[in-house]
Amino acid sequence: MTTNSPLLQPLRQQAAALRNGTLSASELAEAACAAYASRGKHDNAYLTWQGEAALAFARATDALIAQGGDTGPLMGIPVSIKDIYAVSGLPTYAGSSRRLPASWERPGPIVKALLAQLPSLMGKTHTVEFAFGGLGTNAHWGAPRNPWDSQAHRTPGGSSSGAGVSLISGTAGLALGTDTAGSVRIPASMTGVVGLKTTAGRWPAQQIVPLSTTLDTPGLLARRVDDLAYAFDALDANLSPRPSRVSATPELADLTFGVPETFFWDDCSPGIAEAVQQAIRQLEAAGARVVTLELPNTDEAYELFQKGGLAAAELAAFLKAELPEMEDALDPNVAARVRAADDMPAWEYVRRRSLLDKLCAAAAERMGQVDAVLTPTVAITPPTLESLAPEGAYPKANMKALRNTVMANFMGLCGLTLPVGRDAAGMPVGLQVLAGPWQEARLLAIGQAIEAKLGTGLDILGEPPAP
């Protein structure tokens, strides 16, 4: 993306410019199409790209704006949608090798709420098959390239593997993803953008192909926290049973951050812990109060995750009931995890559900002691595809990538990630900011305060190298 692309402007500025006539939806869509022409096939963010259709739609949007029409805050903004959401007129593969039945092309509440505002839908982005993986690989369609390494093919993070890439490559200003164990926050962290994981149950999951009906949460990715706040406010009122709006940005001096000393920092790739620790020191120097606070039962939660949590059993149940013909064609990395659920007795599934209830209650109580908890988002640098080829390499790296983020899902928290620097390999590093359940509006306001001090990803990382 060129540094003068209108898509680099904050979403609020884009929206204001659309309405005062200094920017058009067509110009935004054209910028997205130009970025796709220059690097789209190289980056491979999209399974279904519909640039020409989006451009025609943007021209119609401009005509509506010229007549005084206003369909909502996201009108005219180029967006991408993870290919796990049902969208009218576009195929849904959910990362699999086969197109899903037509019933998975009827949009659910989130897509309806988004598209009712008339953004320019640029296409559907790649996902790990059935969202079951944290690195972003896909045996059927190939992994999108992480744009920050122009030499090696590094993973972009998953399972929303194309979402962050669509932003960094300049083809969208807002991306829809999903997060079951980190699938919004990991790709956001690995590609140097921001990502929001909502509390389970805040936004409806109907017509989103399920991985875990218990833990799946819709989420958003964007270039800056303020963009997330803008989009959250645009959508939450129509989606949440308890809607709220992002409040004024607090002063850092009024905030108390909890920082765990153990677990989240263990065995990080070189440069990751250092970049996050430096960011925390900057926040403390700016007046924030930083205290040691451990999230309760992290070892117990991680042990549960290592055993498969709920996702393997719940995905297996969905496939057997809805798509039995898909099981024999699964990505081997996905198939191995699904097959493991065959040995789980019913009592063990119920025990795991009960354990999650216990983890959520303990975490909610502990989170009341601070405004937010700060950790590294992902403990490993994005691995190269080559490094994942040896026997056993993928499961080990996948587990490590998901380790820090899954705690928010198992503990019922909402979470945010924002870029704070680069690791020793030159790849983006994310700061994870966790808050109690249903605290998204407050979390985003806190994230804005952090971003105001540390800078946006554009300030910290600049633009990725040319392909």
The answer to whether the beta carbons of residues 29 and 249 sit under 8 Å apart is no
Question: Which residues touch 119 (CB under 8 Å, ≥6 apart)?
Answer: 74, 75, 76, 77, 78, 79, 174
Q: Rounded distance, CA 410 to CA 404, Å? A: 11
Q: Is 107 exposed, middle or buried (0-12, 13-18, 19+ CB in 10 A)?
A: buried
Q: Rounded distance, CA 188 to CA 194, Å? A: 5
Give the residue numbers annotated as catalytic, written as ranges: 82, 159, 183
Q: Would strands 414-422 and 428-435 be described as parallel, antiparallel, or unpaired? A: antiparallel
Q: Rounded distance, CA 197 to CA 207, Å? A: 18
Listed as own residue / partner, the contacts of 448-453 with beta carbons closer than 8 Å and 24 or more positions apart are: 448/225, 448/226, 448/229, 448/246, 448/249, 449/249, 449/250, 449/251, 449/252, 449/255, 450/225, 450/252, 450/283, 450/418, 451/194, 451/224, 451/225, 451/226, 451/418, 452/249, 453/252, 453/282, 453/283, 453/286
Q: Rounded distance, CA 35 to CA 166, Å? A: 10
Q: Is 207 exposed, middle or buried (0-12, 13-18, 19+ CB in 10 A)?
A: buried
Report the candidate in 131, 143, 111 with the shortest Cα–Cα distance to residue 180.
131
Q: Rounded distance, CA 349 to CA 346, Å? A: 5
The answer to whether the beta carbons of residues 131 and 211 sit under 8 Å apart is yes
Q: Rounded distance, CA 463 to CA 420, Å? A: 14
Q: Rounded distance, CA 175 to CA 37, Å? A: 19
Report the candidate in 208, 212, 199 with the shortest Cα–Cα distance to residue 240.
199
DSSP class of residue 204 equals -
Q: Rounded distance, CA 439 to CA 37, Å? A: 40
Listed as own residue / partner, the contacts of 332-337 with beta carbons closer than 8 Å and 24 or more positions apart are: 332/139, 333/133, 333/137, 333/139, 333/394, 333/395, 333/398, 334/128, 334/129, 334/130, 334/132, 334/133, 336/395, 337/132, 337/308, 337/311, 337/312
